[in-house]
Amino acid sequence: MATGILFLGFLALMLIGAPLAVALGLAGSLAILDAQLGILSVPTNVYTGIAKYPLLAIPVFILAGLIFERAGVAGRIVAFASSLVGPRNGGLAVVAILVCMVMGGISGSGPADAAAVATVMIPSMRKAGYPAPFSAGVIAAAAATAILIPPSVAFIIYSVLVPQASVPALFAAGVVPGLLAGLSLIVPTVWLARRHGFGLVDTGPRPPVWESFKGAIWGLLAPVIILGGLRTGLFTPTEAAVVAVFYGLAVGLFIYRTLTWRALYEALAEAAEMAAVVLLILALASVFAWAGSTLGAFDRLAGAAVAATGNETLILILLNLALLALGMVLDAVSIFLILLPLLVPIMQAFGWDPVWFGAMITMNLAIGQFTPPLAVNLMVTTRVAGVTIESTVPWVLWMVAAMLGALALVVAFPGLSLWLPRTLGYL
């Protein structure tokens, strides 16, 4: 009965358009009331669901991404990438992908990456003859690598929910899948651009390599500082995030001199609001998760799933299909919070490596970030481009197919994600 209230209540609330956090928290509260588990567990869970030291990294990494965006780092990396790639057919689209990946090494969230790159790139891509829906699709897809290439909000949350997988190990495990995902996009992008003759308009002289490198170096150093600091043991993930913030501030205020105090206030307020949305889901999802695990609902469901299929490969494929389907309508953090209590017992039943599993799920959810109809990254880029999500579909489907290919490799060869964390001694 209480289990029914938990799942059906959540579904009903979600379908009438209640905020996801509320749907999770209220369904959990009702189940707790019905099963008389002690209603005071609700405020306790809400508080302890957020008041965790590792979670501090989430708001701070979000802020770091915004500060680098406001400081004008993206524009300088665009100039540098353009100077390397040159004015080729499809060249600017490739530049967009590379810039998304570099910015993904600073930002921890896909939509933030998408916003930073789209504002800079879509106008120049339009001038070069790329249709706006195509540009919006490419950038949305490439920005999805931000949750794979460290830092990553998704990995931090995964680590909090699955403590066996440490944040540094997960960050390392995301590097190769993230690069693979980004590079896989180049194939359909160049092919589509050549076939349709996009990007043939001459947009002026190629920027000089050395000059643009000097402009971009401060941005390019940020991922090095974050990852290097984690690797050498100089910082915990939370400290790495805050060092990135102050580094970005220094670059924006004193080197580029583009950041105003007003812009800084706006970045603080916006980051606070964006983080609050994630953290409120975390807080109320912990009520849902508490109710589900105390009722034993997740264990029973996972057991049933394992028993019904029994076959490791089959359940892995089904799991990926289910995640992809969910990724079409929900965002990564919510999927983690709803599904992980269910997936962890399955992972344990088959003895899968928790770090590899985290990288795989996250890659799946990255694809979901640009798969219509509900695709957070596409929402951002289409808004910047002034086009509809529907108009991007013919282009975006190719990107989805390409990244699915990269995902298949990561699923089939765990070594691809586990090689780096092993080499760095995290596993």
Partner 1 sequence: MPPIPGPEEDPDAPRVPVTIERALAALAMAAICLVTFGNVVVRYFTNVSFAFTEEYAIFLMVVMTFLGSAAAVAADRHIRITALVDRLPRAWRRWTDVAAWTSALIMFAVIIWYGGRLTYDQWRFEETSPGLGNPQWLYTVWMPVLAGVVALRVLGRIVRLLRRRRA
Partner 2 sequence: DYKAEYKLSTVLGKPFPWGVGGERWAELIREKTDGRINVKMYPGTSLVNGDQTKEFTALRQGVIDLAIGSTINWSPQVKELNLFSLPFLMPDYKAIDALTRGPVGEELFRILSTKDVEPLAWGENGFRELSNSRHPVRTPADLKGLKVRVVGSPLFLDTFTALGANPTQMSWADAQPALSTGAVDGQENPLSVFVAAKMATLNQKNLTLWGYVADPLIFVVNKEVWNSWSPEDREAVRAAALQAAEEEVALARKGIAGDDTSVLSDIEGTGVSVVRLTEEEKDAFRQATRAVYDKWARQIGPDLVKQAETSIADRN
User: Which residues of this protein are in contact with partner 2, per CB under 8 A?
Assistant: 36-38, 40-41, 44-45, 48-49, 51-54, 159-160, 163, 166-169, 230-237, 239, 286, 290, 293-294, 425-426
Nearer Cβ to partner 1 (212/392): 392
Nearer Cβ to partner 2 (77/153): 153
Q: In angstroms, what CA-CA distances link 373 with 195, 385, 395?
A: 26, 17, 14
Q: How far is the CB of 132 from partner 1 (least distance, A)?
A: 17
Among 83, 195, 198, which Cα is nearest to 132's? 198
Does the protein bind partner 1 through residue 11 (CB under 8 A)?
A: no
Mark residues 265-304: x for contact with partner 1 by CB under 8 A, - for none: x--xxxxxxxxxxxxxx-xx--------------------
Nearer Cβ to partner 2 (31/138): 31
What is the binding site for Na ion (CB under 5 A)?
Answer: 104, 108, 146, 149, 152, 328, 368, 371, 374-375
Distance CA 337, CA 277 (A): 14
DSSP codes of every residue in 278-317: HHHHHHHHHHHHHHHHHTTHHHHHHHHHHHHH--HHHHHH
Distance CA 273, CA 117 (A): 21
Interacting partner of 325 out of partner 1, partner 2, Na ion, none (Cβ under 5 to 8 A depending on kind): none
Task: Candidates 82, 145, 189, 334: give the one binding partner 1 (CB under 8 A).
Answer: 334
Interacting partner of 22 out of partner 2, Na ion, partner 1, none (Cβ under 5 to 8 A depending on kind): partner 1
Task: Candidates 2, 139, 245, 259: give the one binding partner 1 (CB under 8 A).
Answer: 245
Mark residues 340-369: x for contact with partner 1 by CB under 8 A, - for none: -----------------------------x
Distance CA 23, CA 285 (A): 9
Nearer Cβ to partner 1 (63/406): 63
Among 287, 284, 302, 296, which Cα is nearest to 32's? 287
Does the protein bind partner 1 through residue 325 (CB under 8 A)?
A: no
Q: How far is the CB of 143 from partner 2 (least distance, A)?
A: 27
Nearer Cβ to partner 2 (242/328): 242
Q: In angstroms, what CA-CA distances link 227 with 98, 215, 271?
A: 19, 21, 22
Tokens representing 190? Answer: 């160049």
Window contacting partner 1 (CB under 8 A); options: 17-25, 121-129, 254-262, 298-306: 17-25
Q: In angstroms, what CA-CA distances link 357 with 266, 360, 366?
A: 37, 5, 14
How many residues would you count in the chain? 427
Residues numbered 246-265 forming contacts with partner 1, rule: CB under 8 A: 246, 265
Residues numbered 57-116 forming contacts with partner 1, rule: CB under 8 A: 59-60, 63, 109-112, 115
Distance CA 181, CA 113 (A): 15
Does the protein bind partner 1 through residue 332 (CB under 8 A)?
A: yes
Q: How far is the CB of 344 from partner 2 (least distance, A)?
A: 12
Q: How far is the CB of 166 from partner 2 (least distance, A)?
A: 4
Residues numbered 178-237 forming contacts with partner 1, rule: CB under 8 A: 234-235
386: alpha, beta or left, given left = phi > 0 and alpha = psi -120 to 50? left
The count of chain residues that interact with partner 1, using the rule CB under 8 A, is 76
Nearer Cβ to partner 1 (83/159): 159
Instruction: Please name the residue that has the structure tokens 């080499």.
Output: 423
Interacting partner of 36 out of partner 1, Na ion, partner 2, none (Cβ under 5 to 8 A depending on kind): partner 2
Contact assessment for residue 222 and residue 105, using Cβ atoms and an 8 Å cutoff: yes
Burial of 69 (0-12, 13-18, 19+ CB in 10 A): buried
The 3-class SS string of 63-122 reads HHHHHHHHCCHHHHHHHHHHHHHCCCCCHHHHHHHHHHHHHHCCCCCHHHHHHHHHHHHH
Tokens representing 353? Answer: 């490596």
Terminal Cα-to-Cα distance of the chain (whole angstroms): 42
Residues numbered 134-153 forming contacts with partner 1, rule: CB under 8 A: 147, 153
Does the protein bind partner 1 through residue 316 (CB under 8 A)?
A: no
Task: Candidates 2, 6, 21, 31: give the one binding partner 1 (CB under 8 A).
Answer: 21
Distance CA 315, CA 312 (A): 5
